[in-house]
Amino acid sequence: MLWKIEVERQEEFFDARGEGIKKDIIDLGISSVDRVRVIDVYLIEGSLNKKAVDQVCKYLLSDDIVQVYSFKEPLVKETAGVHLIEVAYNPGVMDPVEQSTKKAVADMEISGVESVCTARKYVIYGNVSKEEIHKIADKLLCNKTVQHIVTRKEKVTLPASDYRFKLEYVDILDASDEKLMEISFSRQLYLNLKEMHTIKEYFRKLGRNPTDCELETIAQTWSEHCVHKTFKGTIDYDGEIIDNLLKSTIIKVTEELNKEWCVSVFTDNAGIVKFDDKHNLCFKVETHNHPSALEPYGGAGTGIGGVIRDPLGTGLGAKPICNTDIFCFGPIDYPHDKLPKGTLHPKRIMKGVVAGVRDYGNRMGIPTVNGGVFFDEGYIGNPVVYCGNLGLIPADKCKKEVSAGDKVVLLGGRTGRDGIHGVTFASSELTDASEVISSGAVQIGNPIAEKKMVDTLIQARNRGLYKFITDCGGGGLSSAVGEAAKDTGVVIDLEKVPLKYSGLSYMEIWISESQERMIVGVPEENVEQLLNVFKNEDVEATVIGEFTADKRLKLRYDGNIVCNLDMEFLHNGLPKKNLVARWISPKFEEPNFKDPSDLTPYLKKLLSSPNICSKEWVIRQYDHEVQGGSVIKPLTGVNNDGPSDAAVMRPVLDSHKGVVISNGMNPNYGVIDPYWMAASAIDEALRNVVAVGGTLEKTALLDNFSWGNPDKPDRLAGLVRASKACYDIAKIYGTPFISGKDSLNNEYKVGDESVSIPPTLLISALSVMDDVRNAVTMDGKEEGDLVYVIGRTKNELGGSHYYTIRGWVGNNLPKVDAKLGKKTMQRLNLAIKEGIIRACHDLSEGGLGVALAESSFSGDLGIEVDLRNVPVEVGLKRNDTILFSESNSRFIVEVAPRHKKQFENIMKGIPFGLIGEIKREKVLKIIGLKGKTVLNTPIQKLKAAWQKGLELN
Amino acid sequence: MSEVRVIVLRTAGVNCDYETAHAFRVCGAEVELVHINELRRKEKNLNFYHILALPGGFTYGDDIAAGKILANEIKFTLKNQIDEFIASGKLAIGICNGFQVLVKSGLLPRKNGGVTLTDNDSGKFEDRWVYLKETSNGKCCFTKGIDSIVYMPVAHAEGKFVPKDEQTLNSLVEKNLVVFRYVDENSNPCGYPYNPNGSIYNIAGICDPNGRIFGLMPHPERHIDPTQHPRWTREGLKKEGDGLQIFKNGVEFVRENLL
């Protein structure tokens, strides 16, 4: 029997969900909607009688103080002016509520429930046409990738589908080149002809065709996502031959710097550095761009879920302690009718991504401490979603080992058809057909499943029950197991893998990317104890195979061999990629306008521009304080609403030792030259660390490239230039890279035209701080204190936000003098340690002007400065350039008058200027080069401009 | 000297267990993190402990409604242990999700108490610091000695306190069961964002008629160390965080009355 239960808020209670949707509908241009109500729908199938259903409704599914329910008839009927849209998840899509509802009903000792699923019914009141209802459903309420509109009575229990084993071979031995490429394309392998030839040759020697499973395994292992063949290939960069870009730039810095506190770099799932005597830190950032483009909520949620499993799968497992997320979207006010076909509107993507990260991170109990949002038209077809996670790991649990004879145990979630071909999908370009053909690649996460797994894994780790761990991420078991056993060998019995529903073939089991799964390698004598740890807290754990010593990847299904590959070929057989890179320096028109006599309107416009304005709307939705270690929060100042430069936290609660997390990124510069973009991103990440009191000497970096198609010489040349800058700049600063990731092929195809996203490099920094009580924030503190600028201001407005708001790009982008930058940051750090810096803010987007405004309104105090005292390069004579140039390695600091001498002594040899003073009068006043006031405005007005830039409901 | 024993109850989705345990440890208590399955299987007995702490988190994903599934589980599967625990005069504190569980399982303010916690008026999860005024006039054993306003963060999506009717609210107030109200920095009850969720009568926390079961939406365990205060870099480091007194009081009450 199927029971359909509807639950709704009582009339007198405000329906915030409904109101939010109403605003979105008005945004779509449909103004005739009076009101929207949201009804939660539960479909319960089983042998329950009416009385039992009423009990479930009354005591479990509804709250009689604020809600009403009905299971006999719908709460609202469709009539003139009352429209209903019911949206449900597609069969097989993760619906976490199903499991918890079943559990709760069982706790009530009510039996007979077979399946539960949920849906949502939207009631739309108003004079709205049928077409408009379709538009609302399509643009706002239902994402066809994972959901559908309910039009008739549905079955809840999935029909049991049988799978009958049949081993499939793919005929490649007799295939022509054309046929080989057709196989690669139609099976979504995304392998090129050279690679297909190599595979053909391998099997020709074996005298047989590959099974479908073998071919898939090779494709997964050789995908750009898993093996980074661009970075490891041979590149002809304008005649210079680079063999392995990664090793000759990013890894090279780390090797040459050879820091004793780097525990594990570029080998495990995340980089590891020393923290204190007992603990180390693990840090990793990843992208989840393509899934987020199609299903923002699920894509971003599984992005954060996936990156949490990286530190968790490093060493013997790190406890996740904080997240950092950076997103790039198209402009949120972009006209709907200009959107390319098949793309979601940037506003919808942003809301979905923020909600996805929020719901996953918050439920996992991991604070999101730092991040950023960047808007540019270049991300309309392909958003960028970076998710990062930091973990804390005992110093003696950082090494893992695979031994022949150890059992392979699969932990966590069950395996379904979700996420099939995620890896190869990530390695291809998006097209307007992606929505249809790749929908299996997108899924919804279940954070509580992952949380349970983390809780139990840490217990098993502490008891020393396993020797190896890794996560099932892209490529699922095929990548996790294949990589784990590459030096030993493994045999897996695929029928032992627990499934969400029947009917999966051996190959689907092997490549499924179902979320919330890990594998561990367990000595036989520990297996029983280990399984008990998980069973005790309702986490599924299953022995699915064993590590061997024969260096072969063997897969069986019910005893039949379905894959038997040589590990050597699988991991080293990939032919090296030869690529061509050609750099053509773009020339933009030089801006041509006068230095304005009043800079006030420009500062206000900068403050309210989307890339500079307050991100409080996003930040407050993330729990940034759970786990109790928060020291410098993302929002700071008198009213807890100013923008912090970096996060500081204490991972160990009975200690004052801390960690700083910051990020640097500026795709605007990448359009001009990715070399200086990369240099600036490093400088910015380091500035942020130093601004809150961190030190360069204990700072490690992560690189995360999101780029276009590397087979195109211009895109690749940019990538080479950015990598070269990573080496040059990090080498001088003395800050090693410990891990990184690249996401290439971020292009969007419409018809024949392929559009690349702007070259986007995110640099994330992690720095160990001996005593968090030395930390400094950016808000102005006290009337009468002195304001200094540190670092030299140059005419470097190319790619600046000032040029952007005035409609220009320019060419003279900020460069980095890393030798001077290093000295500057070291001296500043010294002054902070002496305790004489009361506030410090780095100068970045919007330059000195924006930094002064932010420090001023965050401290609710005025500032008066004189631009004549700003150290500038020879010949710089414009007020707007001094105020808005984004030259690197600069800060403003606040120093009490009694520390003037001490401060100036410390800074000797570094460009700095005493530019002004903190004032009681709440005004920002700036005197220009000719002694005239060029800006004079109440800080409340500046703050209002800054706070209104990003208004979402 | 015998120990004050605290049980911090864990289950799927509990996530403030670590810092809640830390807060009690700072006050000298012996703390044990116990999974609900251990109580259900009777491997551990609730009555061995003096204080039951239900920490924050998203138990079972807050599916259906926040805290509902754990409340249901406690009500139906641990009824005897809980009844005995409360009857013997022991203490319980529920923070955030733990408060939602106490309310929805009928442990607060008392059986069929006619109150609930529901969606914030803002319609979304919010993390922000709030000022609280103690209003139980000495009724709640966890808030003794707190006479000035205290400062701590809230972080929730479903924290709006709603009594069934006027009469229920009046009864809570008259019996001194309203322990904390959201106020501004001058101790006056006022609207959003000071009242972060639209709670009726600005109620942030309540206790049972014996003053021994206490639930609140704000997180005292997130203001133990002075560096947790959002403005310590401008206002200086206090001697201790405002939340610590709540845990100290609980431990002290047990020492004086139950050991």
Report which secondary-structure segment, H or E, holds A732.
helix A713-733
Return the pLDDT at A754.
87
* B210 Cβ contact list (under 8 Å, min separation 6): B89
pLDDT at A430 over 60: no
pLDDT at A324 over 50: yes
Q: Nearest 5°: CA angle at A757, between A752 and A759?
A: 130
Q: Searching chain A, which residue's CA lies closest to the CA of residue B243?
A: A628
pLDDT at A212 over 50: yes
Q: B55 in contact with A at a CB cutoff of 8 Å?
A: no
Among A722, A670, A665, A671, which Cα is nearest to A235's?
A: A722
Q: B236 in contact with A at a CB cutoff of 8 Å?
A: no
Mean pLDDT, residues A786-801: 98
Query: Distance between CA atoms of B243 and A625, rounded to whole angstroms?
Result: 14
Q: How many other C-beta atoms can be found within 10 angstroms of the C-beta atom of residue A530?
A: 23
Catalytic choice (A83, A228, A288, A841): A288
Q: Searching chain A, which residue's CA lies closest to the CA of residue B68?
A: A60
Residue B81's pLDDT band (boundaries 50, 70, 90)? very high
pLDDT at A50 over 80: yes
Beta carbons of A545 and A527 less than 8 angstroms apart: no
Distances (CA, A) of A890 to A374, A467, A787, B40: 22, 47, 13, 60
Cβ of A776 within 8 Å of Cβ of B233? The answer is: yes
How many residue pairs bridge chain A and chain B with CB atoms within 8 Å of each other? 177
Q: Range with the lowest mean pLDDT among A131-145, A304-318, B21-35, B232-246?
A: A131-145
Query: Distance between CA atoms of B34 and B6, rounded to whole angstroms?
Result: 10
Return the pLDDT at A310.
96
pLDDT at A434 over 50: no
Per the prediction, chain A carries an average pLDDT of: 93
pLDDT tens digits for A92-148? 777 889 889 999 999 999 999 998 989 999 999 999 999 999 999 988 898 887 888
Query: Is B221 one of the catalytic residues?
Result: yes
pLDDT tens digits for A382-400? 999 999 999 999 999 999 9
pLDDT at A435 over 60: no
Query: Distance between CA atoms of A630 and A616, rounded to whole angstroms?
Result: 17
Return the pLDDT at A424.
55
Query: Distance between CA atoms of A583 and B151, rounded to whole angstroms?
Result: 57
Cβ of B121 within 8 Å of Cβ of A14? The answer is: yes
Beta carbons of A427 and A224 less than 8 angstroms apart: yes
Could you write out the three-class secondary structure of A911-940? Answer: CEEEEEEEECCCEEEEECCCCCEEEEEEHH
Q: B125 in contact with A at a CB cutoff of 8 Å?
A: yes
Contacts of A97 in chain B (CB under 8 A): 61, 63-64
pLDDT tens digits for B173-217? 999 999 999 999 999 999 999 999 999 999 999 999 999 999 999
The boundaries of the domain holding residue B50 are 5-257
Return the pLDDT at A15.
85
Among A451, A628, A773, the residue with its CB nearest the CB of B22 is A628
Mean pLDDT, residues A456-468: 98
Query: Is A336 one of the catalytic residues?
Result: no
Q: In this structure, which amino acid lies at residue A864? A: E
Token reading at A202: 């391998």
Give the total number of structural domains in chain B. 1
pLDDT above 90 coverage of chain A, percent: 83
Return the pLDDT at A440.
58
Return the pLDDT at A162.
77
Four-residue CA torsion sign, A675, A680, A682, A683: positive
Mean pLDDT, residues B66-80: 96
Q: In this structure, which amino acid lies at residue A475? A: G
Q: Which of B39, B64, B118, B224 to mutate to test the interface with A (most CBs of A within 10 A)?
A: B64
Cβ of A628 within 8 Å of Cβ of B58? The answer is: no
Return the pLDDT at A571.
94
Query: Distance between CA atoms of B61 and A97, rounded to whole angstroms?
Result: 8
Return the pLDDT at A439.
44
Beta carbons of A694 and A769 less than 8 angstroms apart: yes
Mean pLDDT, residues A826-845: 98
Cβ of A365 within 8 Å of Cβ of B15? The answer is: yes
Token reading at A254: 């780390």
Residue with the bigger pLDDT between A440 and A277: it is A277
We report the CATH number of the domain holding residue B113 as 3.40.50.880
Beta carbons of A276 and A657 less than 8 angstroms apart: yes
Q: Range with the lowest mean pLDDT among A15-24, A274-283, B131-140?
A: A15-24
pLDDT at A436 over 90: no
Q: Is the pTM of this model over 0.90?
A: yes
pLDDT tens digits for A709-751? 999 999 999 999 999 999 999 999 999 999 999 999 899 877 7
ipTM comes to: 0.96
Chain B nearest-CA distance from A118, in A, is 10
Return the pLDDT at A108.
95
pLDDT at A422 over 70: no
Report which secondary-structure segment, H or E, holds A392.
strand A384-394
Q: In this structure, which amino acid lies at residue B30? A: E
Chain A nearest-CA distance from B179, in A, is 21
Beta carbons of A123 and A88 less than 8 angstroms apart: no
Mean pLDDT, residues A170-174: 95
Q: B225 in contact with A at a CB cutoff of 8 Å?
A: yes
Among A66, A632, A859, the residue with its CB nearest the CB of B162 is A66
Query: Distance between CA atoms of A498 and A540, rounded to whole angstroms?
Result: 9
Q: B247 in contact with A at a CB cutoff of 8 Å?
A: no
pLDDT tens digits for A597-653? 999 999 999 999 999 999 999 999 999 999 999 999 999 999 999 999 999 999 999
Return the pLDDT at A428.
57
pLDDT at A437 over 90: no
Distances (CA, A) of A926 to A277, A390, A915, A916, B197: 49, 41, 10, 9, 41
pLDDT at B99 over 80: yes
Catalytic choice (B96, B140, B141, B207): B96
Residue with the bigger pLDDT between A362 and A226: it is A362
Return the pLDDT at A418.
73
pLDDT tens digits for A63-86? 999 999 999 999 999 999 999 999
Q: B238 in contact with A at a CB cutoff of 8 Å?
A: no
Report which secondary-structure segment, H or E, holds A408.
strand A407-412
Mean pLDDT, residues B124-148: 95
DSSP per position, B158-219: S-EEEESSHHHHHHHHHTT-EEEEEE-TTS----TTTSSS--GGGEEEEE-TTS-EEEESS-
Residue B166's pLDDT band (boundaries 50, 70, 90)? very high
Q: B239 in contact with A at a CB cutoff of 8 Å?
A: no
Q: B44 in contact with A at a CB cutoff of 8 Å?
A: no
Return the pLDDT at A438.
41
Return the pLDDT at A431.
53
Residue owning tokens 């898993």: A226
